[in-house]
Each structure stands twice: as structure tokens, then as C-alpha cells.
């Protein structure tokens, strides 16, 4: 069993339990997930704590967000006495160390001590504050905590960067010198690779201490989700979207439902969806739903990518089992592939990476299936006349894929020369916009962003040019785009962009897992999510 300092309770799922001396504190439980709650008033703080309790019984109360933290303690005492099943941390971080408390070191110590006497199980003191204390002051503080049966967590926060693991280990050692119950090292991720440094530090330190390690910021999501697997005592989440206490924090529900925190173990396969921006990608939700439905021990995380090198480092060293690639990385990744299917090579764009058992990267393009499958379910593509509006990345997948299925494909694009170049490569035809009204098609596929929420652009076709029985719009925000509304009003059949999104994701799922994708569940969950989001 590990030798633990001042560890009067059991940390569930992470380390062996340490029976508490019965006279000092009752045995407490610390789960993998601590929900950090804040509020401008005690009422708001307690309402959030009450709401958080249904997701985790381990809650951090950020007292420094209150105008008068000390004045709130009687109310908190009543709350904690009523909710004896909550394990609580009190934090009153001073402004100079990234918190909101404007008082002095003495005031902070006084509030934390009163919090301990109020019934808090753990108090969080910044390492800088610990170092500013005189020896007698710190000794007195710690004796009072012991008398109250409260444990000490000492934390360090770097709001600018993440150092290499050696630097992080030094910080952890600086904290460990005080022999606290918990060592907490928080940094700021500027790259995906920064997560690797934090996870390494956790692996190193968790041999001798209860350690918590997190890289803040959107790029640091990997550390928030995977730190318990690396050996961290727990990780943090917010009580709800919009109630974060630190940059990059995600809500407890997202961490539990989408990132599957409670299911992750050493065997969990990690996938990513890479891009920038990526925070609002529907892929993690869709794939998590599929993984859960098909009993696959896997998770997908959004990866904010600033450079391909950074992504490839994490793919190799985390490692990642596969990645869904979004623009603009689809072309850039090609030289790094050990192999790719022939269509991906011809299109010159890869949207799906799979890491082989040999560690090499294999590339696929499932955007093609995203376009072809919905159409072939509704028509015979052999000899079908299909108009593609646009000649960008999405159009490439559509044109190459449809030509391969034997369709006669026509391209119209705002920049005519780009249509000419694409048509030449894919053996398709080019049309001038002026000829559209006189030409009949079996289907029209819009691959331009026109009609997308937030883009005020005229549609690339007029109503009089909708000379087809089926209109397919790749845009899916909003679900019913202006083009689809126009087509429906004319009694034409339609295909929405969400069907394409799900079809390309379903093929990714199959490539990664070898199992048939649960398409209807995948569609259902992303449609529900889109309807929930403000348009």
C-alpha cells in the first residue's frame, strides 16, 4: 500500500483505502469527479451545489467568487449538515494567484479555517500562500485543520503555459514538501502535446502522492478526461455550461455522458475529432452514443488543433486509435499516411485516420459515403444526372464519389475556373450558371455554405433553377435550410446535411470498430442536440 501523508479517508477507485482514526474524522469518499461550483451569492452557490449533487457527491465550493465569503459560512454549515453525503472542498483563492478573493493571506487562512470548522472536508491553499506563511503560522493553521478533521490540498496554477514534465514534477515536489493530503498542479495548455506533459507528471507523482493534474483551456480537454486514468485522484468539472470556475472546464454531464468519465479504464480506446474551431462538433456526442450502444470501450474527444505536428505527436504518444479530420487538415495529413484507399488518394483528401497495430497511420475518406449513401438509397446512381453546386472540399468528395458510382456529374461554381479544374480531375462536366434554368437533373447537391445559420448569402440557385426531383443540401445548421424549405414548397424530395454527417460518421465507426454502426441512434442523438442548441 502506498504511504500517504495526512490522508484520513479513502479515495474511491484510485488508491487503497486508508482507515481514518475514528476520533478524528469519519471515513469519506472521494470519487473521480469533483464538481466546482461558484455563485455570486450564497443562494446561487448553494443552488448550484444542490444541482451538482445529482452528478457527483464530491463538490468544490469556490468561496472566492462570493463578495463576502466569511459571511456565507453559517449558511454553508447548515447545508453541509443537511447534506452529510457530500464530500466538500473549500477554496478561497486570492486574486494574485488567479482567484477572486481580494483579502490578505491572513484573511484567506482565517476563512479556510472557519470553513474547516464549518464542516468542509478539504481546504485548498495555493502553494504561494503556503510559502508566504511563517513556520509558526502554518503550523498553527495545520494543527487547527487537524483538530477540525479537515485535510489540506495544496495547489499551483500556471495561467500562461505548461512546462515539460520535469518542470511540472518540480512544481509537484515544491507542493509535496508541505506534505499535504493532495498535490494539485494546474497549468494552461497551449497545444495538445501539453496534455502529455501533465499526464506524465501525474504518472510520476501518483506513485507517492494523491495528485491532481489539469491543463486549462480548450486544448487541455484530454487532461480533464484522462487524468484519472493516468493515476490522478480526481478531475474537475463545472456544474453546468456557463458556470465554469476555470478556462476549458466542461460540465459534469458532458464529462459523464459524452466523455464517459466513469467508464474509462486502461483498455479504453481514445479517438479524436480534430479541427479549429472544434468545441461545437457533434462528432463526440454521435460517436459516444454509438460506442455505448454497441458496447465498445472507447471515447471520442474534440481536439483543438493549431498545427498538424501537434496532432501527430498526440496521435503517436497518447496514443489515439483514430481521428476524424476536419478542414483544413484533410489535405495536409496525406504525406503522413502509411497507406490510404485508392479513392482517398484520387480525391486528395482524408477525413478519417486509423492507427494500425504497427503504429502507422491509415487514411480513409468517408465524406464520399456521406454523399453517396443517402442518394443511392433514393435513386439508381448509374447514369443519373446530378448537379453539384460548389467546387470546394465537400464538392470534391461528392463529385469523385458520384462519378465513381457511374453518375453523370455537372458542376457549377461561383469561381468558374475551380469548377473546370475539379471536373477535369474527376471526369465530370462543367456548366455555366446561365444554362441552369434550361437543364434538367435527377438531383441537385448544394456543397456551398449558403443558407448556413450566420451566413447571409444568396442561395447559389434560384427557385426557377431547381430543375430536379431531389434536392440535397449539405448544410445542416439550421436543420431546415432555406434551400430545403424552397424545395419542399415546390413538392420536391429533400435530403438534409445531417443525414450526410451521420453517414460519414457511421462509416468512421465501422472503420474503427469493425462493427455495423447504429445509424438511427446516431441520427437521433445529433438531431436532438441540434434542436436543443440556439439557432
Interface with ligand NAP (CB under 6 A): 327, 367, 370, 390-395, 413-415, 418, 447-450, 452, 457, 460, 474-476, 497, 500-501, 504
**Min CB(466)–ligand NAP separation in Å:** 16
Strand ranges, E, within 119-241:
122-126, 151-157, 182-188, 210-216, 235-238
4 C-beta neighbours (distance < 10 Å), count: 17
Looking at the Cβ atoms of 381 and 452, the one nearer to ligand NAP is 452
d(CA 186, CA 385): 58
**Min CB(186)–ligand NAP separation in Å:** 35
Residue 343 cell numbers, joined: 479513392
**Min CB(453)–ligand NAP separation in Å:** 10
Looking at the Cβ atoms of 64 and 465, the one nearer to ligand NAP is 465
**Min CB(421)–ligand NAP separation in Å:** 10
Reduced to 3 states (helix: H, G, I; strand: E, B; else coil), residue 329 is: helix
CA–CA–CA angle 524, 525, 530 (5° rounding): 100
10 C-beta neighbours (distance < 10 Å), count: 17
> Cis before residue 206, ω within 30 degrees of 0?
no
Backbone φ and ψ for 397, nearest 5 degrees, come out as: -60, -40
Looking at the Cβ atoms of 223 and 413, the one nearer to ligand NAP is 413
CA proximity to 297, closest of 262, 327, 329: 262
Looking at the Cβ atoms of 70 and 327, the one nearer to ligand NAP is 327
d(CA 99, CA 77): 23
- Inter-CA distances, 398 with 57, 370, 406, 486, Å: 50, 9, 12, 22
Helix (H) or strand (E) holding 283: helix 283-293
Looking at the Cβ atoms of 217 and 370, the one nearer to ligand NAP is 370
Contacts of 74 (CB under 8 A, 6+ apart): 118
**Min CB(17)–ligand NAP separation in Å:** 49
Comparing every residue's Cβ against ligand NAP, the nearest one is 392
- Residue 114 annotated among the catalytic residues of the structure: no
Helix (H) or strand (E) holding 346: helix 342-347
Q: Which residue is catalytic, options 5, 184, 330, 456?
A: 330
Looking at the Cβ atoms of 471 and 474, the one nearer to ligand NAP is 474
- Inter-CA distances, 143 with 106, 116, 139, 140, 257, Å: 16, 12, 6, 5, 41
**Min CB(335)–ligand NAP separation in Å:** 20
**Min CB(396)–ligand NAP separation in Å:** 8
Looking at the Cβ atoms of 182 and 400, the one nearer to ligand NAP is 400
Backbone φ and ψ for 196, nearest 5 degrees, come out as: -65, -40
Residues with catalytic roles: 330
Amino acid at each position: 500500500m502506498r504511504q500517504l501523508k495526512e490522508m484520513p479517508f479513502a479515495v474511491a477507485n484510485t488508491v487503497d483505502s486508508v482507515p481514518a482514526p475514528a476520533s478524528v474524522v469519519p471515513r469519506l469518499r472521494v470519487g473521480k469527479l469533483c464538481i466546482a461550483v461558484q455563485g455570486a451569492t450564497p443562494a446561487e452557490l448553494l443552488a448550484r451545489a444542490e444541482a451538482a449533487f445529482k452528478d457527483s457527491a464530491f463538490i468544490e465550493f469556490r468561496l472566492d467568487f462570493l463578495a463576502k465569503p466569511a459571511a456565507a459560512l453559517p449558511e454553508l454549515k447548515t447545508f453541509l449538515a443537511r447534506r452529510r453525503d457530500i464530500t466538500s472542498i473549500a477554496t478561497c483563492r486570492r486574486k494574485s494567484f488567479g482567484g477572486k478573493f481580494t483579502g490578505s493571506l491572513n484573511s484567506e487562512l482565517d476563512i479556510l479555517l472557519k470553513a474547516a470548522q464549518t464542516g468542509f472536508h478539504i481546504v485548498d491553499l495555493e502553494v504561494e500562500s503556503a510559502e508566504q506563511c511563517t513556520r509558526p503560522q502554518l503550523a498553527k493553521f495545520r494543527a487547527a485543520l487537524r483538530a477540525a478533521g479537515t485535510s489540506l490540498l495544496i495547489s499551483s496554477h500556471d495561467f500562461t503555459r505548461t512546462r515539460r514534465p520535469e518542470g511540472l514534477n518540480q512544481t509537484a515536489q515544491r507542493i509535496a514538501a508541505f506534505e499535504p493530503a493532495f498535490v494539485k498542479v494546474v497549468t494552461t495548455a497551449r497545444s495538445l502535446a501539453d496534455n502529455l506533459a501533465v499526464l506524465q507528471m501525474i504518472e510520476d507523482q501518483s506513485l507517492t502522492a494523491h495528485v491532481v493534474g489539469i491543463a486549462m483551456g480548450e486544448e487541455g480537454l484530454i487532461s480533464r478526461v484522462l487524468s484519472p486514468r493516468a493515476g490522478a485522484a480526481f478531475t474537475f468539472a463545472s456544474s453546468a455550461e456557463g458556470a465554469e470556475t476555470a478556462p476549458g472546464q466542461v460540465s459534469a454531464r458532458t464529462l459523464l455522458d459524452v466523455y464517459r468519465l466513469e467508464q474509462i479504464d486502461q483498455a479504453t480506446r481514445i479517438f479524436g475529432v480534430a479541427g479549429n474551431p472544434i468545441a461545437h462538433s457533434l462528432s463526440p456526442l454521435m460517436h459516444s452514443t454509438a460506442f455505448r450502444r454497441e458496447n465498445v470501450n472507447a471515447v471520442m474527444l474534440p481536439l483543438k488543433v493549431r498545427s498538424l505536428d501537434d496532432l501527430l505527436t498526440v496521435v503517436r504518444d497518447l496514443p489515439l486509435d483514430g481521428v476524424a479530420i476536419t478542414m483544413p487538415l484533410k489535405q495536409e495529413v496525406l504525406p503522413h499516411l502509411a497507406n490510404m484507399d485508392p479513392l482517398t488518394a484520387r480525391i486528395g483528401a482524408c477525413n478519417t485516420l486509423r492507427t494500425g497495430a504497427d503504429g502507422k497511420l491509415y487514411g480513409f475518406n468517408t465524406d464520399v459515403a456521406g454523399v453517396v449513401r443517402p442518394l443511392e438509397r433514393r435513386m439508381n446512381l448509374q447514369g443519373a444526372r446530378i448537379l453539384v453546386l460548389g467546387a470546394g472540399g465537400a464538392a470534391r468528395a461528392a463529385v469523385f464519389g458520384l462519378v465513381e458510382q457511374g453518375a453523370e456529374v455537372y458542376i457549377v461554381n461561383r469561381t468558374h475556373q475551380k469548377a473546370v479544374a475539379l471536373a477535369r480531375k474527376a471526369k465530370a462536366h462543367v456548366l455555366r450558371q446561365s444554362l441552369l434554368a434550361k437543364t434538367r437533373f435527377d438531383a441537385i447537391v448544394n456543397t456551398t455554405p449558403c443558407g448556413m445559420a450566420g451566413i447571409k448569402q444568396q442561395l447559389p440557385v434560384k427557385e426557377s433553377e431547381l430543375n430536379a426531383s431531389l434536392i440535397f443540401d449539405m448544410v445542416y445548421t439550421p436543420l431546415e435550410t432555406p434551400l430545403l424549405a424552397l424545395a419542399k414548397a415546390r413538392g420536391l424530395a429533400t435530403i438534409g446535411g445531417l443525414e450526410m454527417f451521420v453517414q460519414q460518421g457511421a462509416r468512421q465507426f465501422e472503420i474503427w470498430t469493425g462493427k455495423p454502426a447504429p445509424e438511427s441512434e446516431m441520427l437521433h442523438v445529433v438531431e436532438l442536440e441540434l434542436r436543443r442548441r440556439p439557432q
